[in-house]
Structure 1
Amino acid sequence: MTTSAAIQASLRGDNALPLRPVDQVMDLERLGAIHQSRLSFMRTLVRRIMRERWQIEPVRFELDPQGYGTVVYEITTPNKCYSFVLFSDYLSPDERNDRVIATKWDLTMALVDGQVDDLYLEKLRQNVPKQEAGRVDARVFVLSRANRSARNFDYVVDQLACGKQPDVAQIARVGYLYRTTAVYGSGKLGMADWEKVSTRHPDFNRPFAAEMFVCLMLRNFSLLQAEHIAQHRTPETYHPMLPEIKRFFGIGNSTGLGMAPYLINHPLLINQWVEMRELALARVRVLGNINKRITQQFPELLERCAIHTEQTVTEDAWQTANNLQVLKDLEAIREHTANGIGSWDALLRWSEENCSLQGQEMLVSVMLELYPELVDELEDYHTAEEFLDLDPVMPLQQLKQVIEQRYQWALVLDFSADGAKDTFWYRSEEKMEPRLGDAREEDGKEKQMALGVGYAVRKCYDQLCQYISEHPQHSTARFMVAQPKLRGIVRRIQSMNRCIYGDIQANLLDRDILPMHLLRAKLAFFGVGKFDPRSKLWVRNTMFQGAPLLEDIGHTFNDDWFMPLAPAQQGEL
């Protein structure tokens, strides 16, 4: 029995409720409607840091009065020592570019195994600022870069230099001083691969933990740098930022199509992420005792979610409409539970009939937030061995049955319909970044990425049925000899049959596909908030807003930064 199966089995009992069905959970639009939760990777990382009291100190701080130079932090955990190395360079306005084609940035940084001496620091200085054009060794396991917010950074420095605090209303519009434009890991550019990181660095052995940590460090450095520049500009009037305002700053991020294929190419891992969230929800539905504390905290969290949504600024009409609908859903939930919650199962079922998908999934996040004792331990089970295994001895009749049961969603799709195969995914030659092509207008479909899982299943099923009609007693091995090009999709079908979730149930080749749902789903698992789509292909968002500061480590930690709210503006000092 796998670990997740053992956990799921522990939920079973005479009164146990089933997990939500796969066709409901893995619907693309629902995945694109989920929100951050206690199990999001940023939350689990911060809990670990605060619980284990990591020591994070700058051991080299060489910034000039304008904030340019080199900073090295040492991170001491219960297991190891790491270094976070950051280079701050002048970037002229005509060189500033947030796109992946940029070659210079305000900040570049690396997370490194062990301490950094002068010789190794110089090696990093020669390569880290070059990013893709440079090369690093396996001591490095995350590489990143970031640019200043044109709307916020200089404004915040000016306010602090004059002895004033930044206007909270302005921060709410743009909740960060820097935004990342890329965070690389998993063996790219000579770095340590995931197998090495997960086995040798237990502090970062959860998916994307190291990448999230780099973003957290960037967020804290951005605050330190702004104060450093302001203090040197006018030391006689400077005043540091208030801690509550500092915590309201996050780190900005722009995410495009580069993230989308991950959800398709890592189905076993995605299954694990989704299953842990659904197991947590099942636990709350079965075991969530509604006592006085819950009765008081539930409406408070609904109100927090509403205010957080109101404070989310977006220029996108689609996202604005979604946010307005979520506010209506939250009010409906509040009214429905005004005289008592009843049971979580009944409330969840009511929401499915009366709320939008985003409203339903907001309720799920609130339910998880109420029960750390039922949810938090599941954070240790977000990893999975990503090996799609072929079962050559499986009878073809059984393989056919697996497709009919698990991939019914693909079999009912009409791929002969107008527009059903008009979109193709490919990688650009210049940057090897995913792009979308229109088969009606563009060449290159022959170089498309294998993301059309539904269409591949359909083709496999049709050829399998034809083969079975002639050879009904043959095994999968014989079918593979006859149809070797189908080996990849057959391997996926057989492997995913051992999972509960995993495959996103959508035709990604359809003319009207919305990649935004894919981006939103992955970002929600990360713990991102305040989505601001700039098109259907990329989205701005905010990371770590409301999270503790480095100086909070070692102090009382309530893990209470779910859906963070703008602090009340205090009078100037």
Structure 2
Amino acid sequence: MIERRSPDVVMTLERLGSLHQSRLSFMRQLTRRIAREGWSFHTHAFNIDANGVGHAVYTAKGPERLYSLVAFAHDLPPELRSDRVIATAWDATFTLFDGVPTVADIERLSQNIPLQEAGRVSESELTVSRANRSVRLWDHCVEALASGNQPDPAQLDAVGYLMRTTAVYGSGKLGAADREVIANRPEMQAPFQAEMLTVYLIRWFVRDLIEHMARSKGGEAAVKLDRVIAARLGIGNSTGLGMAPFIVNHPVLFNNWIMAREEAIARVRSVERASPDEIACFNDLVARAEKSVQAWYSEHPIQIEKLAELGADIATLLQRLKGFDFHSERPWDALWNWAENHLTSEGQEWLASLMLEPYGELVDGLGTCMADSHTQANIVDGSMPVSELLSLIEQSFGWALDVDWNAPEHTAMAWYVSEEKLEPRLGNRFEEPIAAYEQPLAPARDAADAYRKAQAFGRDETTADFLTRHPDCRHTVRRAQMARFAPYAEIRSNTIAHDILPINMLRAKLSFFGVTHFDPRSDRWVRVCMYAGAPYPAELSAQNCEHWIYPEAAS
């Protein structure tokens, strides 16, 4: 059996910023389950007026439970439209209700969901979300459909969505159900399944809403959105620095995501012989994935450079595949070993995701391992000898022990929360008075400090002895001890260096959601699209639930 790659290779920010969606991505786990279990979907209510104001309820029925998206559509003045977290009004607001809401539930939710942070919800609600229209494209689509025409495909492809969410909250936010309430439900065991279901149902609502507004405007002359065009549209999302600290603050959870992916890659590399069907599947999806990359556009220099790297890597890979012997022993391992010497990290991770595609039986079960079930992970083992503690720090932070943490370039940046915008920020501690407000998002610096202090203790002294003298090191000890079962918990890069690129942290997390076509607008925020290409609920089947993420290649 091929071993998983070392965390020292996988967990650098440069590598994490090159990850792509895969079979294990959360959106694909959801559509696969829905199709396999034969979920049914029903429009429970659609009470929207000609101005696009009102509410709708969409219900998804699984084997054991029902979930309902409750959507509120608003007539939002342009001057109030904002994607910032401090916004107070949106074009649409949503909640995922546990079951089917009653009339009383709808009334209660109508007084709270449109207010978002200013409202309150109950344990019956699993998520809270909001979205804004892509205004010019929305108006163009309404006008076109109302007059009996389809919208311009070029305009649609340039944006990719008619609405974009600005937040999809779960896990207890605003009073919604805590993760523990749903964690043991089979359909919710994988991470972020409630959030992914929310967005999937929002996409259905958005299509219905725009067709409704077109009918209200055009009457009998109006037409529905062409099914092929509708399928290409996803739900947009604007994500900034608020997401970046997540992978630092949830080390065990992020470890589980990475470990599952690395285990999947190792399993496929260990396959002794590839069958003709597996080879054909891989080659087909390489062609389709290449088409997706060709349609991936960005104006940001960071992404332009990465796309150039990926394009060159794909050309190199395609040339190699022409003469590659898939019938040899362990062909995927041979292909991977070649890739490590000939492709950039961007191309390597693109290839890794594609190698998993023919092997659902080997890979898909790992999705149930990706949640954080280590309820005791935060408990410090005070009986641990200092010698073992030092060893664990070396294991996770060995690279950081040689860094000169007194050098300004290694500590230039500080994470803090803006009082005005209520959003995470990253600033230069030597240029702004922010050091006093720094968030604990520099585990490598803190680990090096704890290591230096622990070296002054006897090897047989205990961690409790150490923490009695240095209680400020408790968080480092806790993280170091997690390495015993979470080897991929720690980033092997400096999160406060002068040249830190937070966009790499955003992409790492979003790749596990399953998004494609990352479009950075700076090194600190990105626009993405979710569910583009996915079948709508009524059309989802075992035949189309899996590879919708890849566009059809030209024949």
TM norm structure 2: 0.95
State the alpha-carbon separation in 2 of the partners of residues 182 and 405 from structure 1: 36
1:36 maps to 21
Please state if 1:69 is matched with 2:54.
Answer: yes
Please state if 1:459 is matched with 2:449.
Answer: yes
When the two chains are superposed, the root-mean-square deviation of aligned CA atoms in Å is: 1.8
Alignment of 1:437-448 (within 5 A): 437-448=427-438
Aligned-pair distance for 1:460? 0.3
The question of whether the paired residues in 1 share the 8 Å contact of 2:32 and 2:542 is answered with no
Aligned-pair distance for 1:341? 4.2
State the alpha-carbon separation in 1 of the partners of residues 165 and 56 from structure 2: 18
Please state if 1:534 is matched with 2:521.
Answer: yes
2:370 maps to 382
Alignment of 1:144-543 (within 5 A): 144-199=129-184, 201-287=185-271, 289-342=273-326, 343-386=331-374, 387-430=377-420, 432-466=422-456, 468=457, 471-543=458-530
1:92 maps to 77
Amino acid at match of 1:385: S
The question of whether the paired residues in 1 share the 8 Å contact of 2:69 and 2:202 is answered with no
Amino acid at match of 2:404: D
What does the per-residue CA deviation read over 1:433-476, in whole Å, with 9 as the maximum and x for residues that have no partner? 2111211111131221111010011000000112x2xx343111
Secondary structure of the residue aligned to 2:95 is strand
1:132 maps to 117
Amino acid at match of 2:33: R
State the alpha-carbon separation in 1 of the partners of residues 18 and 544 from structure 2: 29
Secondary structure of the residue aligned to 2:237 is strand
Aligned-pair distance for 1:287? 1.5
Between stretches 433-442 and 291-300, larger displacement belongs to: 291-300
Amino acid at match of 1:355: L
State the alpha-carbon separation in 2 of the partners of residues 162 and 327 from structure 1: 41
Amino acid at match of 1:194: R
Aligned-pair distance for 1:234? 1.8
1:360–1:554 distance in 2 versus 1, CA, 3 Å:
closer
State the alpha-carbon separation in 2 of the partners of residues 60 and 522 from structure 1: 34
What does the per-residue CA deviation read over 1:32-91, in whole Å, with 9 as the maximum and x for residues that have no partner? 100011100000011111111222211111011232211012222111122211100101
Aligned-pair distance for 1:424? 0.6
Secondary structure of the residue aligned to 2:287 is helix
What does the per-residue CA deviation read over 1:362-420, in whole Å, with 9 as the maximum and x for residues that have no partner? 00011011221211111111112352231111111222222223321221222223311
Amino acid at match of 2:389: L
Aligned-pair distance for 1:430? 4.1
Aligned-pair distance for 1:353? 1.6
Aligned-pair distance for 1:193? 0.9
1:11 maps to none
1:34–1:476 distance in 2 versus 1, CA, 3 Å:
same
State the alpha-carbon separation in 2 of the partners of residues 473 and 365 from structure 1: 45
1:7 maps to none
Secondary structure of the residue aligned to 2:522 is coil
State the alpha-carbon separation in 2 of the partners of residues 491 and 300 from structure 1: 46
The question of whether the paired residues in 1 share the 8 Å contact of 2:410 and 2:498 is answered with yes
State the alpha-carbon separation in 1 of the partners of residues 483 and 384 from structure 2: 14
Amino acid at match of 2:222: Y
The question of whether the paired residues in 1 share the 8 Å contact of 2:291 and 2:553 is answered with no
State the alpha-carbon separation in 1 of the partners of residues 394 and 56 from structure 2: 57
Aligned-pair distance for 1:314? 1.3
Amino acid at match of 2:486: C
Secondary structure of the residue aligned to 1:289 is coil
Aligned-pair distance for 1:567? 9.8
The question of whether the paired residues in 2 share the 8 Å contact of 1:38 and 1:375 is answered with yes
Between stretches 545-554 and 515-524, larger displacement belongs to: 545-554
State the alpha-carbon separation in 1 of the partners of residues 486 and 189 from structure 2: 22
State the alpha-carbon separation in 1 of the partners of residues 474 and 522 from structure 2: 36
The question of whether the paired residues in 2 share the 8 Å contact of 1:172 and 1:312 is answered with no
The question of whether the paired residues in 1 share the 8 Å contact of 2:13 and 2:504 is answered with yes
Aligned-pair distance for 1:566? 9.3
State the alpha-carbon separation in 1 of the partners of residues 272 and 54 from structure 2: 52
Secondary structure of the residue aligned to 1:420 is helix
The question of whether the paired residues in 2 share the 8 Å contact of 1:302 and 1:330 is answered with no
The question of whether the paired residues in 1 share the 8 Å contact of 2:535 and 2:545 is answered with no
What does the per-residue CA deviation read over 1:463-496, in whole Å, with 9 as the maximum and x for residues that have no partner? 0112x2xx34311111111111111211111122
1:525–1:341 distance in 2 versus 1, CA, 3 Å:
farther
State the alpha-carbon separation in 1 of the partners of residues 262 and 217 from structure 2: 52
Amino acid at match of 1:169: A
Amino acid at match of 1:426: Y
The question of whether the paired residues in 1 share the 8 Å contact of 2:94 and 2:113 is answered with yes
Between stretches 358-367 and 397-406, larger displacement belongs to: 397-406
Amino acid at match of 2:282: F
The question of whether the paired residues in 2 share the 8 Å contact of 1:28 and 1:506 is answered with yes
Q: Which runs of 5+ in 1 are unaligned?
A: 1-15, 569-573
The question of whether the paired residues in 2 share the 8 Å contact of 1:389 and 1:495 is answered with no
Between stretches 158-167 and 179-188, larger displacement belongs to: 158-167
Amino acid at match of 1:428: S
State the alpha-carbon separation in 1 of the partners of residues 280 and 69 from structure 2: 42
